[in-house]
Chains A and B, each alone.
Chain A
Amino acid sequence: MFVNMVEVLKYDLVIMGSGLAGLRAALQAAYTSHGKAKIAILSKVQAMRSHSVSAEGGASAVLYPKETGDSFDLHAYDTVKGSDFLADQDAVELMVQMAPQEVRFLERLGVPWSRNEKGQVFQRPFGGMSIPRTAFAQDKTGFFMMSTLYQNVLRFDNVDIYHEHFVTKIIVENDEFKGVTAIDLKTGELKLFLAKAGIIAAGGAGRLYRFTTTAHSTTGELLTLALRAGAGIKDMEFVQWHPTALVPSGILITEAARGEGGYLVNRLGERFMKNYAPQKMELAPRDIVSRAILTECKEGRGFTHEESGMCYVGLDLRHLGEEVINRKMPFIRELAHKYVGIDPLSDLIPVRPAVHYTMGGVHADIHGRVLKADGTWIKGLWAAGEAASISIHGANRLGSNSLTECLVWGHITGEESVKYAIEKPELVTDDSIIEIAKKEESRVFDKLIHKEVNANTPYDVKRELNDIMEEHFGPFREGSKMSEGLSKLLRLLEKAKSMRIDDSSRVYNQNLKDALEADGMVELGLVIGLGAYARAESRGAHYRLDYPKRDDTNWLKHTVAYLYGGEVQLTYVPVTITRWKPEERKY
């Protein structure tokens, strides 16, 4: 239906993002509604190509407690300790309880879980987990889960998949979600999606940094759209560096390599983790291992990559043997061979920490409902997966908990949002919303008509943002350095207001899309920077040289950023502690 030249589409539920969380939500919503609800999935890439496909290691769950001696309590405790006690424990307890049924559900859907001789789902050790509980599908778990979920969504006629639709605005009026505007990249048309309910599942923001394991699509601009729509953005300063990314590309080498027994060695051939985490060694949580590697580098015990000048250490899989590598980690062997030209059976894999995950995201409660900074629910809006901050991972995420979180909150938000939508009265096409859509159309496409000749291109902006984030908000932070970074970010924010767009066509305008991404990325960088600068302690992934200790008295709380008067402000909300009081975090 076209109203004043804008195509208006009405749905009960609109899901923004088609990764594991988004697809799991779509599946749950479609099934729960018995085919009655109209559901739309919007993805800025082709829906089967979301970054979730790159996840390698596995999904954690207490599947066989009797046989392994594992328990919900243990999984929850590991997660809370891994989070450096910033995780909300009621949510963690819910996740570990729902995890096993989710893994079994995915098994029934068709995920090719790797099996042991008994035909059970094989589980491997992973960082920070006291008992092996990471279910995996070789070393392509994310890919197989995505592929299975995507194909299963095709069961339902009531789910419409909109490939390559780039969301430009989340419309909220009177604290209620109304819909979104999105560009159909293939035609350049702006469409208005009116919906009774929405789920934000657009992933994280790794590409704010230069050396990252994430896809080019992981830019996080939807988080900024949520911020602009009134949502709180929580704990954004907690950025995870994954210890083992290939040098120089940043391509991920899964933690499973260490889970299956791989070692980390410095230039002198030492397993240096004994000096940083004597008990867990290579399987300590990621923030600890990443900082260890970078410290080895700083103190001159690393290797140097000739071309890029990057310092790295060696991931040693030689002792694992061909059988283990080929059956459990074939992808790693292929990646190392293709992109570095080495064979893990006979050489060390060159690895260095890279940005991998953002613990922070849209402020959400245990139901995944999106909250404003003051705690009120933006009615009809939910968030799930990496894009949400419930928070499960607190200051640091344990490997394999992310896939689990996507499934659990995909399930919860999919079910709750569709039930909410079904009970709501029919949508009426409201003039004021059409006005908003038309204004969006001008805002977005005027950039093509008014050519800024001397301005920065979106690529200049992204490059400069990467420089600032890497230099001022890296794994080792410090007050004055961050303050300098904040000034640079504010100046960049000004520059980003008018970027030069060279492609003036409507059809598949990637140049324009890149500019819209850059615009959102810089503002998100500011949210990270402000949160990091304010937090005067070290906790999990946020480590400060000027405040190297954890300070529970003053800082056992979540940062929530919000917009007020057009500027980013910060407030704090308490952490929900049910069972485990903060203790010293040693591994």
Chain B
Amino acid sequence: MPTITVKVKRFDGKTSWWQEYRVDTKSRKVTVLDLLIRIKEEQDPTLVFRYSCRMAICGSCGMVINGKPSLACQTLVEELGTDYITIEPMWNYRVIKDLVVDNEPMLMRLREIKPYIVRDEKEIFEQDIEFGQTIAELDKYLNFAYCIECGLCYSACPVAADDKLFLGPMILAAAYRWSADSRDRGWLNRVKVLDSDEGVWACHVAYSCSVACPRNVDPGFAIQMLKAAILKRKKKL
């Protein structure tokens, strides 16, 4: 029965320190989240971290595991290839406590790019019709609609580390998802926000965002598509 050592970066509002825990586990086919929950329930109830679905769809458990921004519930111990696990909170956010970070300011900026079908509101809310969409039209944006708002892309982004005004990969990818949706008419509206130093032009194509994304949304690619569309003065994506 292997013993896994888990070193966690703690923070209580004033001081931060590293704390080591040891967990005996029957198999390495458990997730890092499983280990953290066991530590909390059996050894140290003061350890805090966000979690909910445990199946990589709610986006709660983003953290940096052995140097890589990942979802704890999607990281199997056997995948790490070691019995020594180091965990710290997601980068680029203010730490509230232990592994819980203040990602709300970034998440709420989603409003700035109008993350919904921009069109006559009466048409959307009151006309009982289908706008309709072909399979080809659906495929154009579907991949980018998988974003679970976990914020890992933003935490991996080297630009976001210094530039606090940069909207970041999550929000830019969302701007692409909605603009590329055949039902939407909001592209020209969104360009005003995107074609700026807070928008796409801050991106230096480091591409860490796409590497970190647990749902393969490929936000890096979405940003490059936005840049191309802006440069080509496209009227609609």
Contacts and interface: CB of A to CB of B under 8 A. Distances in A.
B130 A49 contact: no
B82 to A, nearest CB: 19
B52 A144 contact: no
Contacts of B178: 110
A21 to B, nearest CB: 17
A154 B111 contact: yes
B: contact size bracket: 35 or more
A547 B209 CA distance: 58
B145 A144 contact: yes
B161 interface: no
Interface in B107-125: 107-108, 110-111, 114-117, 121, 123-125
Contact of A109 (B104, B124, B141): B124
Given A109-B116, A110-B116, A508-B96, A216 B147 contact: no
9 contacts: A45-B60, A49-B60, A110-B116, A110-B178, A114-B138, A147-B145, A151-B116, A161-B108, A502-B45
A215 B53 contact: yes
Interface string A486-506: 000000000000000111010
Contacts of A505: 12-13, 46, 97
A420 interface: no
A163 B128 contact: no
Contacts of A514: 45
Contacts of A154: 110-111, 115-116
Contacts of A251: 54-55
A286 interface: no
Contacts of B200: none
User: Do most interface residues of chain B lie in helix, strand or loop, or is the interface mixed?
Assistant: loop
B52 A51 contact: yes
A39 to B, nearest CB: 16
Interface string A49-62: 11101100000000
B61 to A, nearest CB: 10
Interface of A: 31, 45-46, 48-51, 53-54, 101, 104-105, 107-110, 112-115, 117, 119-121, 140, 143-144, 147-148, 151-152, 154-155, 161, 163, 186, 215-217, 249, 251-252, 307, 335, 338-339, 341, 457-459, 501-503, 505, 507-511, 514
Given A115-B134, A154-B115, A46 B107 contact: yes
A510 B37 CA distance: 12
B54 A108 contact: no
Contacts of A119: 132-135
Nearest to A107: B130
Interface of B: 12-13, 26-27, 29, 37, 40-42, 44-46, 48, 50-60, 74, 76, 96-98, 100, 102, 104, 107-108, 110-111, 114-117, 121, 123-125, 127-135, 138, 141-142, 145-149, 174, 178, 181, 183-184
Q: Enumerate the 4 nearest inter-chain pairs by beta-carbon distance, A residue then B residue, closest first.
A: A151-B115, A459-B41, A49-B58, A503-B46
Given A109-B116, A338-B74, A215 B145 contact: no
B21 to A, nearest CB: 15
Contacts of B45: 457-459, 501-503, 510-511, 514
Nearest to B110: A154
Contacts of A161: 108
A207 B76 CA distance: 23
Contacts of A147: 145, 147-148
Contacts of A155: 114, 116, 121
Contact of B142 (A112, A216, A252): A112
Contacts of B55: 54, 249, 251-252, 335, 339
Nearest to A122: B135
Contacts of A510: 40, 45, 48
B40 to A, nearest CB: 8
Given A46-B60, A154-B116, A217 B135 contact: no
A46 B61 CA distance: 11
A507 B96 contact: yes
A410 to B, nearest CB: 14
A54 B181 contact: no
Given A338-B76, A507-B97, A508-B97, A54 B129 contact: no
Contacts of B174: 151
Nearest to A250: B54
A439 to B, nearest CB: 26
Of listed B26, B135, B181, B183, residue having the most chain A CB within 10 A? B135
Given A457-B45, A510-B48, A53 B133 contact: no
A109 B124 CA distance: 7
B87 to A, nearest CB: 16
A503 B54 CA distance: 24
Of listed B48, B58, B183, residue having the most chain A CB within 10 A? B58
Contacts of B96: 186, 507-508
Given A143-B57, A163-B104, A341-B29, A49 B52 contact: yes
